[in-house]
Amino acid sequence: MARNGERPPAPEPLPAPAVDAHTHLDAIGCADAADVTAAVDRAAAVGVTRVVTVADDLDSARWAARAATWDDRVFAAVALHPTRTANFDDRDRATLEELARQPRVVAIGETGLDYYWDYSPPHAQHEAFRWHIDLAKRVGKPLMIHDRDAHEDVLRILAEEGAPDTVVFHCFSGDADFARRCLDAGYVLSFAGTVTFRNAGALREAARLTPPDQMLVETDAPFLTPHPFRGRPNEPYCVPYTLRDLAALRGDDLVGLVSAVTATAERVFRLAEIPSL
């Protein structure tokens, strides 16, 4: 339903507050504090009261950490995306570690492995992933994983390095079997708009079996806009489309599901411990 870049209409407000566990406010066009406030105002108007804006390179990491100081409803995650790791050096590591220790940075991500694109060779991705795992453990913050066509190596490296206390599979893309393996390991699965796609049968089955206390919901905006607006620009205010679809898919009461998934986000990111601005 692409309409020349037109954003989807605002959904009906949720009956309980929700969290967008993974978005990219800079990529949706936010540049300054006024832009960020406007975006989270649009989200709050439909019940999405907090967002985690996520970095994929060093400039984005600096921006995300700064944006989290502009509005109390915004938190940040910082890392180098696996496709950006070909020339990952000590200066980059020092920058990310400094940012990761800031109080409103609530996760290390998105990091992991991406075998779909060939921008960074596997050995560089593996080395960077291992470093990010160690960083998450040293700073005591959850690890937010990007896993594209790399399920087995992601699990193997997590096992070899020893996973942090909390691991989030951002935009979970596996089937029911892979979901069970992740859930049995104690990992948290974050579902984006892809779970609403009607051709995503294996992913939808994975969402059916994921308990709410191991489930997050995200937009990954500006990408992965939920059905029936696939192809249009995504924003945090679109989270209710995914939550309503998940509730229908699972046969859950909407209020109960939203409340439970929000409680998971609060626990995973320790939002109650974050100092107010």
Torsion sign, CA atoms 11, 17, 23, 24: positive
User: How is residue 21 written in tokens?
Assistant: 């566990």
Residues forming the annotated binding site for a divalent metal cation?
Answer: 22, 24, 110, 146, 170, 220
Q: What does the alpha-carbon distance between residue 55 and residue 27 come to, in Å, rounded to a whole number?
A: 10
What are the binding residues? Answer: 22, 24, 110, 146, 170, 220
SS (H, E, C) 78-129: ECCCHHHCCCCCHHHHHHHHHHHCCCCEEEEEEEEEECCCCCCCHHHHHHHH
Q: Are 82 and 146 in contact (CB under 8 A)?
A: yes
Kindly tell me the number of DSSP H helices and DSSP E strands found in the chain: 9, 8
Give the three-state DSSP class for 24.
coil
Report the sign of the C-alpha dihedral through residues 29, 30, 35, 40, in that order.
Answer: positive
- Residue carrying structure tokens 């898919």: 249
